Amino acid sequence: MLTVNELVPVTCPPGRLILQTVRAHDQFNTTMYSLDDRYRGIRKGRDVVMVNPDDLVDLGLRDGDRVDVISEWPDEPDRVLSDQRVVAYPTSRGCCAAYFPEANVLVPLASTALGSNTPVSKAVVVRLVRTGPAAP
């Protein structure tokens, strides 16, 4: 049976991004076989948040900055993924990406799909807060 669902856009306030989670090349489900991601040119670490270069300018951040990624959901405390390295990457404007399962901590418990009750991992609104000096 084919069903049609109404698209409900995610509202993202200024200064915030919509997070998507991704898997790396050397990853099968939640098992990582290396810390490199040849799909995206990321080496020696999965503690990254990939952000469009134009969004970095708007947010006052630079490639290489260290940030906390903080998710926001009404009536729930903020959830934090600490000390991530910002990577300038051609994500869509207004969006950022981080690795699964590391970024699962950002998915609010109340953010689930109607019917299936599965976590809505592709519609998480986050803010990035620099945790140290700006990258050179």
Cα distances (angstroms) measured from residue 3 to each of 10, 20, 120: 21, 24, 19
pLDDT, one tens digit per residue, over 50-94 is: 999 999 999 999 999 999 999 998 888 999 999 999 999 999 999
| Rg of the Cα atoms in the chain | 15
Average pLDDT for 22-37: 66
The residue whose two tokens read 């609010």 is 108
Between strands 79-88 and 48-51, the pairing is parallel
* CATH number corresponding to 17-130: 2.40.40.20
Cα distances (angstroms) measured from residue 110 to each of 50, 93, 119, 127: 25, 26, 8, 19
Predicted structure pTM score? 0.85
Name the more confident of 38 and 77.
Answer: 77
Q: How confident is the model at residue 32 (pLDDT cuts 50, 70, 90)?
A: low
Are the C-beta atoms of 123 and 18 separated by less than 8 Å? Answer: yes
Residue 116, C-beta contacts closer than 8 angstroms, at least 6 positions apart: none
Residue 35 pLDDT: 65
